Amino acid sequence: MNGPLRKVSILVALMMAALLLNLTFFTAVRQEPLNENPLNRRVRDAEFARDRGAILVGNEAIAISEPSGNATVPYVRNYPEGEVWAPVTGWFTRIHGVSGLEREYSSELAGTASRQTFNRIVDVFTGRESSGANLSTTLHPGAQRAAMNALGDSRGAVVAMNYETGEILALASTPSYDPNRLSTLNTNDEIEAWDELLNAEDEPLKNRATREVYPPGSTFKIITAAAAVENGIQPDSVIPSPASLRLPNSSHSMGNSTNCGGEETTLERALATSCNTAFGQLGLDLGADVMLDMAERFGFNQEPQIDIQAAASRYPTEADEAQTALSAIGQYEVAASPLQMAQVTAAIANDGRMMRPYLVDHVTTPDLQVISSTRPEELSRPVSEATARQLQQMMETTVSEGTGRAARIDGLTLGGKTGTAQSDPSRPNYAWFVGYAKDPKVAIAVFVEDAGVARDDISGGRLAAPIFRAVMQAVR
């Protein structure tokens, strides 16, 4: 063989080897991720052809597959009370992908997960049509409906959880949308509905409960209080609470929006009155490193551990003294999801033990064979039991005597914290309330982005605390 032919032969052989290696890599390594990619239209069309499993709340189906009458795509996804459950189920579309539990458990619902291989083989031999698994959720129907109703026309979110187990009882985000409009088999109708929802001014496709983060405002003071107690400051310790706190190396000062009771107060009263300057000074005294450590102990700057898409909450890793003072009251670059603040509150209520939050209790085949189940799992212990008990004492005083009085419910021992957070001078402040009950063992975070009220009427006690009360009453 002459030289040129030999070179061509070697090049062709190398290209064939590269092709075989690439095919082997995609088959052995990339097959499952590509199959699960929500943009893979071929796989999703195949899933539409399957009898997809149901998503259940107790015995109630909140997402089911029904015969479509279309020979090519024989099933269509249906969502009873779609707007109530959309923050949980998400959408399931042929063109625009999937979200929510439909996305996180897509292969199980479609019956294509590796754990369902044996069931598919049995279906082949028995001649039975394959169908997907069912998801049984931890959700409390009364709590979810109460959350959605109480939020009403506001932009906002509610997360309620059993703080002893991590079970999510309510996950609400408003405004909501009807996922039935997106699951249609009519391509033009789906595109029209998607464009309308995507471009809507109130952004209904946003999941404000888990996938968005906002300044937590004064609700973050419970983390600052935790850092203070862990460093030897007691609830009855006297701390400075000046009318104005000059921020170091800055021309700006921090003021108070409430009556702190004088130039000095106790830590407990500072939390009950939501005294900005007291907590700003605590941030300065504790220092940036201590504050960062406590925020990260509670889960900030970490990937959320929950079985639905969620955004990481943020605490500044580099902050000067002025920025540390602002961060101590939940401002500057601090940003948290309602899920994150529910977890913070739950850990305090659970004597310092933070449990992994979860929405799906177990996954079962149509013949009730359990494919997987979730057990309560402790994630961390951000504070000691003694510290948690002292924080509970202070949060209960905040509800009984302080800014959280609007959350009170006769017969229940409640702890909580209000929050009003500044975001942008051109838009309204955010309103927060986080709290828990001793019995039932429930922690709740309420966030109101925009309630359409006058700026002076925006506060956690006025807007968010009544929503907390409505949800807690639904689960008591």
Asked about 218 being catalytic, the answer comes back as: yes
| pLDDT score recorded for residue 23 | 72
For residue 401, tell me if it sits in a domain. Answer: yes
What are the backbone angles phi and psi of residue 353, rounded to the nearest 5°? -100, 120
Looking at the chain, how many residues does it have? 476
pLDDT at res. 293: 98
Q: What gap in Å lies between CA 122 and CA 194, rounded to an integer? A: 39
Examine residue 296 and state whether it is found in any structural domain, yes or no: yes
DSSP, collapsed to helix, strand or coil, labels residue 270 as helix
- Within-domain flag for 312: yes
Encoded amino acid at 459, one letter: S
The partner residues of 255 in beta bridges, in order of sequence, read: 244
Q: Whole-prediction pTM value?
A: 0.88
pLDDT at residue 457, as a whole number: 52
| 119, 111 contact by CB (below 8 A) | yes
pLDDT confidence of residue 450? 79
- Identify the three-state secondary structure at position 81: coil
For residue 323 the two structure tokens come to 């920025």
Instruction: State the CATH number of the domain containing residue 336.
Output: 3.40.710.10
The single residue of 218, 241, 313, 327 carrying the catalytic annotation is: 218
Instruction: Kindly list the averaged pLDDT for each block of 10 residues, start to end, along the chain of length 476.
Output: 70 79 68 56 66 94 92 90 97 93 93 68 56 93 98 96 98 98 94 97 97 96 98 96 94 90 95 96 97 98 96 97 97 97 98 98 90 95 98 98 95 96 76 96 95 58 92 95
- The DSSP secondary-structure symbol of 68 reads -
Count Cβ atoms below 10 Å from residue 77 Cβ, excluding itself.
25
Domain annotation covers residue 172: no
User: What's the pLDDT score for residue 29?
Assistant: 60
**Structural domain of residue 458, as residue ranges?**
217-360+379-475
Tell me how far apart the alpha carbons of residues 298 and 291 are, in angstroms, rounded to a whole number.
Answer: 11
Is there a domain that residue 368 lies in? no
Q: Is residue 165 part of a domain?
A: no
Task: Classify residue 386: in a domain, yes or no.
Answer: yes
Distance CA 329, CA 33 (A): 42
Number of H helices, E strands in the chain: 17, 17
Q: How many domains does the chain have?
A: 1
185 in any annotated domain: no
